[in-house]
Amino acid sequence: MIAKILAKLRGDFVIVLVANIFSYFITFSASVIYVRLLGKTEFGLYTFAFGIVSFFLLVNGFGAASGVLQYVSRAKDDQERLGYLKFAFRSGCAFNLLIGILIIVYALVTSLPIPAAKPILLSMALFPIGRLYIDIFQAYLRAKQHNRLQANFLIINNCVLLIINVCGVIFFKLYGLVYFTYLGYLIMFAYSSYKFKLPTLWGKIDYKLLQVRQFISYSFFTTLSNAFSGLLFVLDTVIISYVVKDPQILASYRVATMIPFAINFIPNIAINYYYPEFAKNAHNPTKIRQLSRFVSQRMFLFSALVSLTLIIAAKPLILTIFGSSYQDSILPFQIISFGYWIIATFRTINGNILAALGKAKLSFYLTFIILLVNIVTTYYLVLKYSMNGAASAIVVMYIFSSLVGYVTLKLVLRDLERKNG
């Protein structure tokens, strides 16, 4: 049975892999262009403002996209699937509008560590609305296993945003990047709705077909778990901003994280591609173990090779791609590159399997514990070693969270076997 599942999925896997690699390459290329065209101080201001927006986006749509992926995968027919999509989009839009208001209040009321970033932050307040549309429809296409369509959507979305944003930076510098992002969202919304014939979001919802309470509960705990998990990657930037208060150091740290964080898409592709199968077989621990082993074994050696290559080639990579002004990014880059092997092989896979098994509440509690440990570790190491300390804290968090995830998944599957008799 497991062989049939894997054979079925392998057909489109290469297409999805190529689409994701191309899309991440586009996103990374755009970041390099921003670094080169904006200059170190302006890029530092953008990094701070976008970091704050990313902090609020940790609860993007209040988990609407996660709910779509889970419940559309299990839905019995298209009417039920469309009902979940409509409900998720409408509730998510309302929540993200609230997020936008909170960003404005935060920028106006609080004393920012980098005051020059205030107008940039205010201009980004409605970014969450555009992000919601993209995230929900990608989840919808993934849940229906329309892999080729999702691959096309991903490539076109990234190409549109790249072209629009680069034009904005060239002609209007920092503010052009911000406002042209809104233009890119509008173009993508209009184009994708027509080209991909995506389902209409308007019209009546038949709530009798939906498990609304369960959908909200799952989305609630998933978004909290994802928020705490995402905070692990946003926390370092925020702490550096408030402790060091230097946009140039913030820019250097951001450059150090770009490549190691960008290639996190590789384990994410693998686990996201197989996620619907993990969800469908949530009551079969044997198949879960087989799928988990299949993904993990292939990531182990690959991620080790990638990490070693990045560590050895760190200096020429940083100086060639980003320029000599970012030489101070080399050491934190090497530290985070070592951590990539850990997260790619262990943390990403175990965490997503727990979510697919419907253990959103358990994942939330585990991530909360990991977050508390990471806050203390990051703050202490940044105070002592600045951005090198932040990079070291990331590796500590990867190791700790991987161990916690591995032990927890093992106990959950053992308990499931006991219940199945």
pLDDT greater than 60 at residue 1: no
pLDDT greater than 80 at residue 225: no
Give every CB contact of residue 294 below 8 A, 6+ residues apart in sequence.
6
Lowest pLDDT segment from 54-68, 155-169, 179-193, 287-301: 287-301
pLDDT greater than 60 at residue 71: yes
For residue 345, the model assigns a pLDDT of 83
Lowest pLDDT segment from 72-81, 108-117, 297-306, 385-394: 72-81
Mean pLDDT of the chain, nearest integer:
85
pLDDT greater than 90 at residue 353: no
- Average confidence (pLDDT) over 2-16: 58
Answer whether 0.85 is exceeded by the pTM. no
- In the block, which residue shows the tokens 């979001």? 201
pLDDT greater than 80 at residue 124: yes
For residue 74, the model assigns a pLDDT of 75
- In the block, which residue shows the tokens 């990313």? 54
For residue 368, the model assigns a pLDDT of 83
Q: Say how far apart CA 233 and CA 250 lie, in whole Å.
A: 14
Full DSSP string of 111-175: --SSGGGHHHHHHTTTHHHHHHHHHHHHHHHHHTT-HHHHHHHHHHHHHHHHHHHHHHHHHHHHH
pLDDT greater than 90 at residue 84: no
For residue 318, the model assigns a pLDDT of 96
pLDDT greater than 70 at residue 284: yes
Q: What percent of the chain has pLDDT over 90?
A: 39
Domain boundaries, the chain: 2-420
For residue 200, the model assigns a pLDDT of 66
SS3 letters for 87-115? HHHHHHHHHHHHHHHHHHHHHHHCCCCCH
For residue 421, the model assigns a pLDDT of 63
Q: What percent of the chain has pLDDT over 70?
A: 94
For residue 3, the model assigns a pLDDT of 52
Confidence of residue 326 (pLDDT cuts 50, 70, 90): very high
For residue 281, the model assigns a pLDDT of 75
**3-class state of residue 206 by DSSP:** coil
Higher-confidence residue: 286 or 7?
286
Burial of 115 (0-12, 13-18, 19+ CB in 10 A): exposed
228-264: pLDDT as tens digits:
777 877 888 989 999 999 999 999 999 999 999 888 8
Confidence of residue 206 (pLDDT cuts 50, 70, 90): confident
